[in-house]
Amino acid sequence: QIEDDAADYLNRMPEVEGKDPEAERRKILDEIEVAGDAGDLLEALEKLWNVKKGCAGTPDFKKWLKMRKDLDAALQAKQAVRYVPAGEFLSGRGRETRSTGAFLIDVAEVNCAAYSKFCRETGHPVPRNWSGNNFPPGQASYPVTHVTQADAEAYAAWAKKSLPTEIEWEKAARGTDGRDYPWGDTFKPGHARIATERPGEIGETGKPLQGASPYGCLNMAGNAAEWTASSVEGKAVVHGGSFRSRHRAARTWARALVEADSAADCIGFRCVRRLP
């Protein structure tokens, strides 16, 4: 029903200067009707985002906002992503004010099943801990690890997304209020897979739910640490800590600098799609 509502609103879009409005409406509507996967729906969302200026300052602006909200909800039903709005947030240990554009980010790390599909379709080499072309038994929904930053970037490009920059990752993890952990300022046992007296164990993506960030992203503390697109002094920036880390390394602002060509059992990634 959400997709039907979004399609209905899109069909009644206001005119966009310089284009045939009916043709534009029909084109986007057709794309939604045949959307077989989340990637197609992402394309429709991006096109809707780009016609915003055709609605600004008119009675149709509220209708545009409703269209975008409905289509975004349909997108989230098809693929686990969350919307992070443009604007300022408190960044780093010192809580300095920084800003990002708007983007969509994966709820959880890319899992082995998704990465396996990428490798099959592109011929990209599989992680070294896989047997042949198969990920370890029972780990379809576990984060893919043993991947380099370049491997993560190749997957993101195939998925028509990108690796998040360091500040995009941090904003998605902590929201705007400068919190130290995705759920607040104090570490809470059971909210993240991390090391205590000894290294913990990696687990499924998307759990535990109580460890969610303000935007609804999971595993941004612990489980698999995550590659970003950023680098410092020639090394790649990794965030989030892992099942091998103590909780201080899992703070939202804490970074690790890692050789970009390393492939560890505790580093994975998630992707973003930036909205123009």
Inter-helix orientation angle 61-78/38-50, to 10°: 160
Q: 91 or 72: whose pLDDT is higher?
A: 91
**Exposed e or buried b for every residue in 46-70, given b needs 16+ CB within 10 A?**
ebbeebbebbeeeebeeebeebbeb
Summarised one tens digit per residue, pLDDT across range 125-184 is 999 999 988 999 999 999 999 999 999 999 999 998 999 999 999 999 999 999 999 999
Mean pLDDT comparison of 1-5, 79-83, 114-118, highest-scoring range? 114-118
Record the tokens describing residue 267, joined without a space: 């580093």
CA angle, residues 254, 239, 155, in degrees to nearest 5: 170
Summarised one tens digit per residue, pLDDT across range 83-103 is 898 999 999 999 999 999 999
User: Could you give phi then psi for residue 250, rounded to 5 degrees?
Assistant: -95, 5
Q: In angstroms, rounded to a whole number, what is the distance separating the alpha carbons of residues 221 and 210?
A: 11
- Residue 36 banded pLDDT, cuts 50, 70, 90: very low
> What's the pLDDT at 61?
72
Tell me: pLDDT of 58 over 50: yes
Q: In angstroms, rounded to a whole number, what is the distance separating the alpha carbons of residues 116 and 272?
A: 19
Mean pLDDT of the chain: 84
Contact between 242 and 225 (Cβ < 8 Å): yes
Q: Measured between alpha carbons, how far is residue 105 from residues 24, 28, 96, 173, 215 in Å? A: 27, 23, 22, 10, 9
- Residue 38 banded pLDDT, cuts 50, 70, 90: low
Q: 22 or 68: whose pLDDT is higher?
A: 68
- Picking from 76, 120, 92, the residue whose alpha carbon sits closest to that of residue 273 is 76
Q: Measured between alpha carbons, how far is residue 3 from residues 71, 193, 216 in Å? A: 7, 35, 21
Record the tokens describing residue 197, joined without a space: 């007296």
Global pTM reads: 0.75
Tell me: pLDDT of 5 over 90: no
Tell me: pLDDT of 3 over 80: no
| Three-state secondary structure call for residue 227 | strand
| Three-state secondary structure call for residue 110 | coil
Burial of 113 (C-beta count, 10 Å sphere; 0-12/13-18/19+): middle
Indicate if the alpha-carbon torsion angle 209, 74, 142, 84 is positive or negative. Answer: negative
Tell me: pLDDT of 10 over 70: no
